[in-house]
């Protein structure tokens, strides 16, 4: 793995996240909050940590989340700090385990998501920040949880395609 | 040799750990700062939007149009019916517009007769919506006018139909408008039919709730809600919407403003209300002028 490729992939990830944020920001007139919206950026970060941890060092997680904090109108730093901590826990869970199965990965994500939600809401409540209703927030986090395998399949298929071409090149 | 690489690796690892802790502390510190000095932090956010979003203004409008077109394709089947309907409506509208132009002429004449000057309070600046909050938990939009256009915090924003929100956070070239549906939005209101005062507070749903009414049982669905001007932030009498009873049996308001389609907003220039600093002078003659009168005699 050359360091050039790693940096290039990191750049692509940051660019994708920036694009996602700007898509969020486009005024689509959909101001009605009836549909759950998964947190794609969060999902992407954790997925990369599970599959290819070298592409997603902790400082990149911090950078992306802080950028999102500023642009998406969240309180500064809190979400970033929690995700940073949670992502490191997730990373150590993923890469110290001897056998790894997707189900285990997914459930670990669920447990960590639960702790993220709990600590985020608790700290906001303790610092008297006005929050929206918890139910909708939980619904969004459930959607994030549901998105994880979908993104995972996309990730794997992209990997499989690359391997296929690589092997064909080797044969030729 | 192997021992040496081990120690350098360990050193690298501990440096990484230190860096991680520092970064974590930095983010926690930013949250604490945000909580303590919120206006300054929000000012920094406004600056970030100025730098990041304002240059994209030229690009955002076409993207927005593409999104609108995509939405339009959904209703492609109904386009013909809609067209016919619009033609019928247009005919009716022509009658009205004729009437309106006659009234406008009449009005112009009357204004000249009265020599009326239009209240500068009622002038407005039009802003184009650049971006929305990007989060389902916050209801706000950002417009392309800011401090350099004279926008100030607290001014009311309307579309053609009713109140939309108020300015909350001004950057140099952009300003944030907190919509009435946001959880942080509380607006003093007046119910026109019963003359009751209360608050309209958003709860992240499309219909904000009515709070702090004196006699909620007197309120009937369909009553008109306007801004009361209490607190001196908004001008009084801006149309807001109509009362309904929500599914949860709370009194809510259907907003007149078209929230599905916020593109252009007029931001009303409102000056701070004149403060009454002393008592009595409004009613009784001025004390000093009294004394002066005495001297003259």
Place of tokens 């109509």: B242
Q: Which helix (H) or strand (E) holds A62?
A: helix A58-71
For residue A160, pLDDT beyond 80 = no
Q: Is A79 exposed, middle or buried (0-12, 13-18, 19+ CB in 10 A)?
A: buried
What is d(CA B64, CA B100) in angstroms, rounded to the nearest whole number?
Answer: 33
Indicate yes or no: CB of B134 within 8 angstroms of CB of A31.
no
Per-chain mean pLDDT for chain A? 84
Per-chain mean pLDDT for chain B? 81
Which residues in chain A are contacts of B71 at CB distance < 8 A?
28-29
Any idea where the domains of chain A sit in the sequence? Answer: 3-171
ipTM of the complex: 0.85
User: Are the beta carbons of B34 and A76 closer than 8 angstroms?
Assistant: yes
Alpha helices in A77-133 (DSSP H): 78-96, 102-126
User: Are the beta carbons of B262 and A27 closer than 8 angstroms?
Assistant: yes
Residue A14's pLDDT is 93
The token duo for B49 is 């939007």
Residue A122's pLDDT is 92
For residue B291, pLDDT beyond 50 = no
- Judged by a CB distance cut-off of 8 A, whether residue B133 touches chain A is yes
Indicate yes or no: CB of A88 within 8 angstroms of CB of B20.
yes
What is d(CA B116, CA B80) in angstroms, rounded to the nearest whole number?
Answer: 47
- pLDDT confidence bin for B199, thresholds 50/70/90: very high
Provide CB contacts within 8 A for B52, sequence distance 6+: A71
Which residues in chain B are contacts of A32 at CB distance < 8 A?
206, 259-260
Q: Nearest CB to A26: which of B19, B28, B131?
A: B131
How many angstroms away from the CA of A49 is the closest CA of chain B?
Answer: 16
Indicate yes or no: CB of A78 within 8 angstroms of CB of B27.
yes
Q: Tell me which residue of B160, B127, B135 sits closest to B238, measured CA to CA.
A: B160
Contacts 24+ apart (CB under 8 A), A97-103: A102/A149, A102/A152
Contacts 24+ apart (CB under 8 A), B67-74: B67/A26, B67/A28, B68/A29, B71/A28, B71/A29
Q: Minimum mean pLDDT among A70-74, B13-17, B70-74, B266-270: which range?
A: B70-74
Locate the chain B residue with the closest alpha carbon to A80: B27
- pLDDT confidence bin for B294, thresholds 50/70/90: very low
Q: Nearest CB to A71: which of B129, B134, B184?
A: B134
Other beta carbons within 10 Å of B284: 9
A24-68 tens-digit pLDDT: 887 765 555 567 788 899 999 999 998 888 889 999 999 999 999
Q: Strand pairing partners for B188?
A: B199
Residues 43 through 82 of chain A touching chain B, CB cutoff 8 Å? 58-59, 62, 66, 70-78, 80-81
Q: Where in chain B is the domain with CATH 2.40.10.340?
A: 124-268
Q: Tell me which residue of B265, B39, B31 sits closest to B169, measured CA to CA.
A: B39
B37-95 tens-digit pLDDT: 888 888 888 888 888 887 777 777 777 777 777 766 666 667 778 888 888 888 888 88
Residue B215's pLDDT is 86
- pLDDT confidence bin for A123, thresholds 50/70/90: very high
- What's the CATH number of domain A3-171, 2.40.128, 1.10.10, 3.40.50, 1.10.1760? 1.10.1760
- Average of pLDDT values for A104-132? 89
What is d(CA A65, CA A84) in angstroms, rounded to the nearest whole number?
Answer: 8
Strand B163-170 with B156-158, pairing: antiparallel
- What's the CATH number of domain B124-268, 3.40.50.2300, 3.30.70.20, 2.40.10.340, 2.60.40.10? 2.40.10.340
């Amino acid at each position: 793995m050359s360091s050039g490729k790693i940096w290039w992939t990191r750049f692509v990830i940051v660019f994708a996240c920036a694009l996602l944020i700007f898509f969020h920001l486009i005024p689509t007139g959909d101001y009605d909050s009836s549909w759950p919206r998964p947190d794609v950026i969060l999902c992407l970060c954790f997925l990369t940590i599970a599959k290819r941890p070298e592409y997603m060092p902790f400082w990149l997680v911090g950078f992306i989340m802080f950028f999102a904090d500023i642009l998406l109108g969240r309180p500064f730093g809190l979400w970033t700090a929690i995700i940073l901590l949670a992502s490191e826990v997730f990373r150590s869970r993923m890469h110290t385990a001897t056998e790894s199965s997707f189900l285990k990965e997914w459930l670990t994500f669920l447990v960590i998501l639960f702790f993220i939600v709990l600590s985020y809401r608790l700290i906001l409540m303790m610092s008297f920040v006005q929050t929206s209703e918890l139910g909708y927030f939980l619904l969004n986090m459930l959607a994030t949880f549901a998105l994880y395998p979908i993104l995972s399949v996309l990730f794997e298929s992209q990997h499989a395609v690359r391997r296929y071409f690589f092997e064909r090149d080797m044969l030729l | 040799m192997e021992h040496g690489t081990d120690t350098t690796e360990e050193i690298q690892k501990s440096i990484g750990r230190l860096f991680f802790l520092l970064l974590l502390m930095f983010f926690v510190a930013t949250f604490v700062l945000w909580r303590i000095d919120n206006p300054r932090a929000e000012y920094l956010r406004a600056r970030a939007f100025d730098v990041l979003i304002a240059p994209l203004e030229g690009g955002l409008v076409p993207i927005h149009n593409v999104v609108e077109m995509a939405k339009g394709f959904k209703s492609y089947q109904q386009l013909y019916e809609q067209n016919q309907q619009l033609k019928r409506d247009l005919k009716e509208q022509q009658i009205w517009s004729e009437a309106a132009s006659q009234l406008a002429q009449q009005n112009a004449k009357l204004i000249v007769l009265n020599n009326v000057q239009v209240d500068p309070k009622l002038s407005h600046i039009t802003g184009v919506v650049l971006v929305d909050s990007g989060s389902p938990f916050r209801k706000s939009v950002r417009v392309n006018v800011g401090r350099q256009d004279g926008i100030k915090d607290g001014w009311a924003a309307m579309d053609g139909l009713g109140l939309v929100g108020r300015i909350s956070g001004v950057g140099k070239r952009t300003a944030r408008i907190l919509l009435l549906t946001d959880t942080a939005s509380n607006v003093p209101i007046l119910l026109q039919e019963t003359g009751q005062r209360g608050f309209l507070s958003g709860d992240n749903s499309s219909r904000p709730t009515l709070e702090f009414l004196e006699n909620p049982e007197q309120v009937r669905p369909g009553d008109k809600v306007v801004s009361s001007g209490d607190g001196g932030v908004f001008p009084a009498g801006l149309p807001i919407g109509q009362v309904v009873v929500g599914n949860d049996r709370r009194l809510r308001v259907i907003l007149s403003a078209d929230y599905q389609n916020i593109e252009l907003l007029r931001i009303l220039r409102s000056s701070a209300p004149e403060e009454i600093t002393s008592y009595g002078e409004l009613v009784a003659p001025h004390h000093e002028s009294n004394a002066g009168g005495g001297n003259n005699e």
